[in-house]
A and B are shown apart, each in its own frame.
Chain A
Amino acid sequence: RKEVEQDPGPFNVPEGATVAFNCTYSNSASQSFFWYRQDCRKEPKLLMSVYSSGNEDGRFTAQLNRASQYISLLIRDSKLSDSATYLCVVNKPGYSTLTFGKGTMLLVSP
């Protein structure tokens, strides 16, 4: 099983749609979880951290299920500007490093 595995993409959705991304991680000892956004040919930027109780930031909702080792990101009312690759990121227990998923590309069309 890969350390961090994400839905394959791309996801093509119309403006205004709701889209959900899923991610699973292999190491049950992981403690920190993040969703990053990466635009084409740019560096990744933090979208939001993922907390055990779930958290929301505007149109974005992140959830964590430790028992299933599963993380999700929900985007409501998609905008054209949401088009990007979304990276699921998990810390590597015992190390200061982060492990990145392959990313899921989202394409929002008019």
Chain B
Amino acid sequence: GAVVSQHPSRVICKSGTSVKIECRSLDFQATTMFWYRQFPKQSLMLMATSNEGSKATYEQGVEKDKFLINHASLTLSTLTVTSAHPEDSSFYICSARIRQGNTEAFFGQGTRLTVV
């Protein structure tokens, strides 16, 4: 299957700093990537849809100025958590679908962010 690589897998940062998470599609081009967040024992919640060459579409309740998304190429999308706070500690996962329609989503390995 297609491969989506996410980096870093784990990060600990101080409150107030920013953290960048990268998501790469290794063997296919992804015009659209998705960013999810998962708190312990909760479901994956879609944060935003990242579109190559255009602005991301954010879900209701997700602050676009806090979670900056850049999708500068067909194989790379980045999520930057700005001015991180302890409540931002979570498991962030990206995914991509090879094409629109009824196809499975491939997920990155996830990034466990801990803000201290």
State the A residues within 8 Å of B (CB). Answer: 31-32, 34, 41-46, 49, 87, 89, 91, 95-103
Contacts and interface: CB of A to CB of B under 8 A. Distances in A.
A96 B44 contact: no
Nearest to B10: A41
Given A96-B32, A96-B49, A101 B104 contact: no
Given A32-B102, A42-B110, 5 more contacts: A32-B101, A97-B46, A98-B34, A100-B36, A102-B42
A71 B60 CA distance: 27
Given A41-B112, A43-B110, A45-B107, A31 B102 contact: yes
B91 interface: yes
Interface of B: 1, 6, 32, 34, 36, 42-46, 49, 91, 93, 97, 100-105, 107-110, 112
Contacts of B34: 97-98
B105 A98 contact: yes
B60 to A, nearest CB: 13
Contact of B102 (A44, A91, A97, A101): A91
Nearest to B108: A43
A87 B43 contact: yes
Given A96-B49, A97-B34, A97-B49, A46 B104 contact: yes
Nearest to B6: A43
The residue in B49, B100, B105, B112 that gathers the most chain A C-beta atoms within 10 A of its C-beta is B105
A44 B44 contact: yes
9 contacts: A32-B103, A43-B93, A44-B107, A49-B104, A96-B32, A96-B49, A98-B34, A100-B36, A100-B44
10 residue pairs, one from A and one from B, having the closest CB atoms: A43-B107, A32-B102, A102-B43, A100-B44, A43-B110, A46-B104, A100-B43, A43-B109, A43-B93, A96-B100
